[in-house]
Amino acid sequence: MSDEILSFDEAMAKYDPVLGFEVHVELNTKTKMFDDAPNAFGDEPNTNITPVSLGLPGVLPKVNGTAVESAIKLGLALGCDIAPVSHFARKNYFYPDTPKNFQTSQYDEPIAENGSVDIELEDGTQFTVEIERAHMEEDAGKLSHKGGAGRIQGAEYSLVDYNRSGVPLIEIVTRPIRGAGERAPELAKAYVKAIREIVKNLGISDARMERGNVRCDANVSLSPKGSETLGTRTETKNVNSMRAVERAVRYEICRHAAVLDAGEQIVQETRHWHEDTRETTSGRPKSDADDYRYFPEPDLVPVVTNAEWIERLRAELPEPPAERRRRLQADWGYSDEEFRDVVNAGVMTEIEETIAAGASASVARKWWMGEISRLAKVREIDPGDLGASPETVVELDGLIQEGKINDKIARQVLEHVVDGEGTPGEVVEKRGLAVVSDEGELSSAVDDALASMPDVAEKIRGGKVQAAGAVVGQVMKATRGQADAARVRELILEKLGVEG
């Protein structure tokens, strides 16, 4: 049964949406958060586990130091304060995905607090999203529901794989985000994209959403237009792609608006997003289930940071993605549109490396956005995976500059290079693709062409200089495209005694 919803435009006319996000990031450490079982995806069920992963009696957790450093780095990248002292806590709940009956998390003393992240929408509009906190915790096991339709509702029983149980997670919680208005769904998508980019750039997560490395719970509430009062919120879970986040937020805005318009109350609850029907459905109501009875984890000692440690980690941080983009665009002198195309094509790094290898910014863009992207599209792979290196581009351009090959031949050479025939120079050599620069050879090719088309030659002599194009074409054909067309034209006119 689907809920009544209002159109997005109607909803926007009456209400201001307020958003909030909880994004869970799975770290790519070698081992789990509290035990030395492998942190790996896709292995046989219940093989990457230790007694700690299973919460067997008497086991003791021990914190993964690398995961803590990843959390601090993320906190710094989000502009957060890093807590001098931070504790782990037990979040108690009973559910088969958690064998201990509690999740080890952080409660009132998280590792990072009070940050912000600048978000850029696709048209360049900027938003600042404030971060309330980022804390360390562990992932739960994976449930497969059997019987019914494979969903939890109507299932006869469930199977549990604890390989994921204990995988290090960082949960990033925003403060309420107001003022996005009709851009709210776009902002939701852009926020998740930005977080994904940040953790990927830091190298702390594989950030593959389809594997659940980055998962988003989206909170939505509506305030009457112009009002400061916060409405009742719902939290939509299971939104596991950037497009789904955008759609789920839009759907909840429209659903809330319809409920409020009917004079009814929003139920504070968890909603589940269904990508197939593009709807949310009610999960459990929040009231009772939220009573997690947190208390300090007695088996773990505090994490204490100091300036020296934090500054060492800060020094290891890569340049933030947004700053890097601004710097590169300014360096390269691309227009906003050109630069956006480069980013969307996913060849920014390739262009950067190509310029570092010696190409000009325009040559690098010409190749990566042109023939390399075209070939990659034909072969259905990413441009970066085609096999064209920055050096390939630099060498191709050099060969063109030297007049050894022309643009058209260069594109053929590229294809041979990515097919593994060697460097551009080697391909030109092996395949005999160099431009015919031997004047004698070129001269006789022109003579042959003129002889084969006497009527055209006559026209040119009579002053119809533009007719020379046909002869040029004939010569290019005879030389398999390897002649310098401009030189051929000069020769034709010389031979016929006509002024160019």
Partner 1 sequence: MTAITRDQVAHLAALAHIEMDETELESMSSELDGIVGAVQSVSAAPIDDVPPTSHPLPLSNAFREDVVGETLTNDEALNNAPDAEDGQFKVPAILDED
Closest to partner 1 by CB, 87 vs 495, is 87
Contact set for partner 1, span 95-154 (CB under 8 A): 95-96, 143-145, 147, 152-153
Q: Is the separation of the CB atoms in 165 and 159 below 8 Å?
A: no
Q: Please report how close the Cβ of residue 133 comes to partner 1 at its closest, in angstroms.
A: 18
Are 475 and 449 spatial neighbours (Cβ–Cβ below 8 Å)?
A: yes
Beta strands 234-239 and 157-161, pairing class: unpaired
Residue 89, strand partner residues: 105, 296
Q: For residue 311, what are the contacts with CB-CB under 8 A and spacing of at least 6?
A: none
**CA 32 to CA 59: how far, in whole Å?**
15
Q: Contacts with partner 1 in 14-33 (CB under 8 A)? A: 29-31
> Distance (Å, rounded) from C-alpha 255 to C-alpha 271?
12
Residue (206 or 426) nearer to partner 1, CB: 206
Minimum CB distance to partner 1 smaller for 145 or for 208: 145
For partner 1, the closer CB: 168 or 320: 168
Interatomic CA distance for residues 450 and 472, integer angstroms: 10
Cβ atoms < 10 Å from Cβ of 496 = 18
Residues 1, 9, 42, 44: which binds partner 1 (CB under 8 A)? 44
Binding of residue 210 to partner 1 (CB under 8 A): no
**Cβ contact 67:33 at 8 Å:** yes
Q: Which of 252, 249, 258, 275 is nearest to 184 (CA)?
A: 249
CA 232 to centroid of chain Cα atoms: 32
Collapsing DSSP to helix, strand or coil, 242 comes out as helix
> Which of the ranges 298-306, 335-343, 392-400, 482-490 carries the binding residues for partner 1, by CB under 8 A?
298-306
Q: Which of 264, 293, 308, 455 binds partner 1 (CB under 8 A)?
A: 293
Q: Work out which of 15, 162, 332, 339 binds partner 1, going by CB under 8 A.
A: 162
Q: Are 430 and 478 in contact (CB under 8 A)?
A: no
Residue 17's φ and ψ, nearest 5 degrees, are -80, 145
| Beta carbons of 492 and 484 less than 8 angstroms apart | no
The reply on whether position 67 binds partner 1 by CB under 8 A is yes
Is position 94 an interface residue for partner 1 (rule: CB under 8 A)? Answer: yes
Asked if 155 is part of the footprint of partner 1 (rule: CB under 8 A), the reply reads yes
Contact between 307 and partner 1 per CB under 8 A: no
448 in contact with partner 1 (CB under 8 A) = no
Which CB atom, from 51 or from 463, has the smaller least distance to partner 1?
A: 51
- Only segment of 182-190, 206-214, 291-299, 451-459 that touches partner 1 (CB under 8 A): 291-299
Of 424, 418, 349, the closest CA to residue 379 belongs to 418
Rounded least distance, CB 39 to partner 1, Å:
9
- 272 interacts with partner 1 by CB under 8 A: no
Strand, helix or coil for residue 272: strand
According to CB under 8 A, which one of 181, 302, 370, 403 is a site residue for partner 1? 302
Tokens of 369: 């956005």
For the bound state, the minimum distance from the C-beta of residue 232 to partner 1, rounded and expressed in Å, comes to: 22
The binder of partner 1 chosen from 113, 138, 161, 395 (CB under 8 A):
161
432: left (phi over 0), alpha (psi -120 to 50) or beta: left
* Residue number with CB closer to partner 1 (57 or 226): 57
What is the rounded CA–CA span in Å between residue 446 and residue 60?
87
Q: Where in 380-437 does DSSP place strands (E)? A: none
User: Could you tell me if 415 and 460 are in contact, meaning their C-beta atoms sit under 8 angstroms apart?
Assistant: no
In angstroms, give the least distance from the CB of 280 to partner 1.
18
Q: Give 290 or 438: the residue with its C-beta nearer to partner 1.
A: 290
Residue with tokens 């596991």: 240
- Residue of 8, 46, 178, 431 interacting with partner 1 (CB under 8 A): 46
Residue in 92, 114, 223, 238 binding partner 1, rule: CB under 8 A: 92
**Is the separation of the CB atoms in 239 and 22 below 8 Å?**
no
Residue holding tokens 């092996």? 430
Question: What is the DSSP code (8-state) at residue 38?
Answer: B
DSSP state, residue 111: S
Q: Say how far apart CA 500 and CA 481 lie, in whole Å.
A: 22
Residue 157 in the binding site for partner 1 (CB under 8 A): yes
Please pick, from the candidates 68, 405, 467, 478, the single residue that binds partner 1 as defined by CB under 8 A: 68
Beta bridge partners of 131: 115, 174
Nearer Cβ to partner 1, position 50 or 116?
A: 50
Kindly tell me which residue out of 85, 230, 378, 486 binds partner 1, with binding defined by CB under 8 A.
85
Would you count residue 362 as binding partner 1 (CB under 8 A)?
no
* Distance of closest approach, residue 142 Cβ to partner 1, in angstroms: 9
Q: Contact region for partner 1 (CB under 8 A) — 34-42, 205-213, 252-260, 324-332?
A: 34-42
Quick check: 308 binds partner 1 (CB under 8 A)? no
Q: Is residue 158 involved in binding partner 1 (CB under 8 A)?
A: yes
Residues at the site binding partner 1, with contacts judged by CB under 8 A: 29-31, 35-38, 44-51, 54, 56, 62-68, 85, 87, 92, 94-96, 143-145, 147, 152-153, 155-162, 288, 291, 293, 296-298, 300-304
